[in-house]
Amino acid sequence: MCKMRFMLLFSRQGKLRLQKWYTATAERDKKKMVRELMQVVLARKPKMCSFLEWRDLKIVYKRYASLYFCCAVEEQDNELITLEVIHRFVELLDKYFGSVCELDIIFNFEKAYFILDEFLMGGEIQDTSKKSVLKAIEQADLLQEEDESPRSVLEEMGLA
């Protein structure tokens, strides 16, 4: 599969929507890399291929509607499978949110992270089956709702 260094989601306007770093990177370097990379990717024409060499990394990106999904992998990694990873993540988001759009990710950004964390860990694919990823997220969400449900406002006010 692929050893990913980081994954970024950003909009056509250059707004970062999600970032996940799988190797320890100083905050300042992160900012610099994100800025630089966004510039490079956004400058590319739509018909260009999805790969580029950047610093000592290979960048694989793909645009879905107004969002760019951009991954950095290492020199020996397989570009096509990385593209598949991106696609699978998009599919997962789509299944979870029901035809996902940029706003879903903006307003539920923590959910998007939960999905990503269930799909990739430390830069490696956790499960190749979409079903089991979605199942894990659903069950974790259920657990969360159990947590939340008994706590109505009234109850908390001590009135119930």
109 near other proteins (CB under 8 A): yes
- Strand stretches in 1-138, DSSP E: 4-11, 16-21, 51-54, 57-64, 67-73, 120-121, 124-125
Calculate the dihedral angle through the C-alpha atoms of 45, 98, 10, 117, rounding to the nearest 10 degrees: -130
Q: What is the largest CA-CA distance in the chain?
A: 63
- Residues paired with residue 147 on neighbouring β-strands, in sequence order: none
Q: Provide the minimum distance between the beta carbon of 159 and other proteins in the complex, in angstroms, as a whole number.
A: 8
Question: Which residue in this structure is represented by tokens 């199942």?
Answer: 135
Q: Write out the binding residues for other proteins, residues 123-152 only, by CB under 8 A.
A: 124-129, 132, 136, 139-140, 143-144, 147-148, 151
For other proteins, what does the binding mask look like between residues 23 and 62, x meaning CB under 8 A? -xxxx---x-------------x-xxxxxx----------
List interacting residues with other proteins (CB under 8 A).
1, 3, 16-19, 21-22, 24-27, 31, 45, 47-52, 76, 78-81, 83-84, 106-107, 109-110, 113-114, 117-118, 121-122, 124-129, 132, 136, 139-140, 143-144, 147-148, 151, 153, 156-159
